[in-house]
Amino acid sequence: MNNSKPLIFIVAPPGDLQIGLQALLTTRLDVDVLVTGEGSSALKVIERHNPAMIILDQDLQRNKVPVIVKRIKSSWPKIRCIVLVNDHEGRKKVLDSGADLILIKGLPGGKLVAEIERLLSPEKLDPAISET
């Protein structure tokens, strides 16, 4: 990994979403990407690699994602957290976690890339919660 590039850490079950996110990020952004399919190892990876951003799939451990995000934001407040959810009900479950952005899966890749760029920008606006 090149230390001059931001590191994005994807925490999602193995499969199409994980592969697609990694491909999208590495082809559309100048970033390094780490991937894991285990939420329990996420905190250890964060400690070791200090990523700029974490993208968590709520399907990984539905009830633990809000706890993981709260832990990340309390220990590493500068790390940006995006949580991907299936629907508005899933969004409600992580609403108070402290995530910088909550997105419902299925949004266009260009929108996700734009949101990631916005969050990684030094001029980043206040955290947002997206309905899309």
Question: What is the per-residue pLDDT across 79-126, written as a single tens digit (0 to 9) for each?
Answer: 999 999 998 888 888 888 899 999 999 999 999 999 999 999 876 544
129, two tokens: 């919660």
CB 105 within 8 A of CB 112: no
Burial 9-46 (b: 16+ CB within 10 A, else e): bbbbeeeebbeebbebbeeebebbbbbbeebeebeebb
CATH number of 7-120: 3.40.50.2300
Percent of the chain with pLDDT over 90: 58
pLDDT, position 132: 46
**pLDDT at res. 54:** 95
Does the pTM exceed 0.75? Answer: yes
The DSSP line for 17-70 is: HHHHHHHHHHHHSS-EEEEES-STTHHHHHHHH--SEEEEETTSSTTTHHHHHH
State the Cα–Cα distance between residues 63 and 40, nearest whole angstrom. Answer: 12
Secondary element (H or E) of residue 92: helix 88-94
The answer, yes or no, to whether residue 1 has pLDDT greater than 60, is no
Domain boundaries, the chain: 7-120
